[in-house]
Amino acid sequence: MTTLLAARSDRPVQFLWGTNVLVEEAALQDIVRDDVRLPEAGPTCEDLAPARFVTNPAALEEVFLAGMNAVARMDGAPPITSVVVRIQGWREGHGIPAAAESSPYVGWCCLFATPAPSTAESGCLSLADPRAGSDLTAMPGLPWGRQVLIRPVPGALAIAPGWLTHSVVPIEHGQQLVMAVATCSR
């Protein structure tokens, strides 16, 4: 959400707190294996061999590169030239406290999720603006007025500036996710 300043007659309205974020459904057919399954036993978060889950790593990188460049264009920023994609398995109890990345943009794509959680927020990616709030902002530090939650369903893709605070709501008992996480460089 963008906040508007009252315009003076000699100045146009200015947009403040603008933060471009892309949230969409990625077409993963021919990219993700049909038999994607996370082994039941294992740590709450682990890096996984991409070949076990992805049939076309270059196509997955292109999904992230296209999304990051779309946000870069909205930001009026230079194009992104390369991405690094990691495949991670997330199991019950995994959660990420508020963090940020040094990468210009960071992206997440859910490749597999089972079963449907009993709590709607379980495993959600949460995005929040870490900048100090302003007067009359619903919650200082959240100029959007709220956190943005992205549910972990297969195909869910989110791209955000690396400085934007992100976290993961802890994953509930029995829930498992396979996530692609991407960072980039110019």
Mean per-residue pLDDT, 170-177: 93
Q: Say how far apart CA 115 and CA 6 lie, in whole Å.
A: 48
CA distance 32 to 34: 6
At residue 35, the pLDDT reads 86
Both tokens of 38, joined, read: 């996370």
pLDDT band at 186 (very low <50, low <70, confident <90, very high): confident
For 123-144, what is each residue's pLDDT tens digit? 999 998 777 655 555 554 555 5
Task: Please write the tens of the pLDDT for every residue from 20-54.
Answer: 899 999 999 999 998 888 887 899 999 999 999 99
131-168 b/e with 16+ CB inside 10 Å = b?
eeeeeebeeeebbbeebbebbbebebbbbbbebbbbbb
What is the band of 56 on the pLDDT scale with cuts at 50, 70, 90?
Answer: very high
What residue ranges define each of the domains in the chain, with the CATH number in brackets? 20-185 (2.60.120.10)
- Mean pLDDT for the stretch of residues 139-167: 82
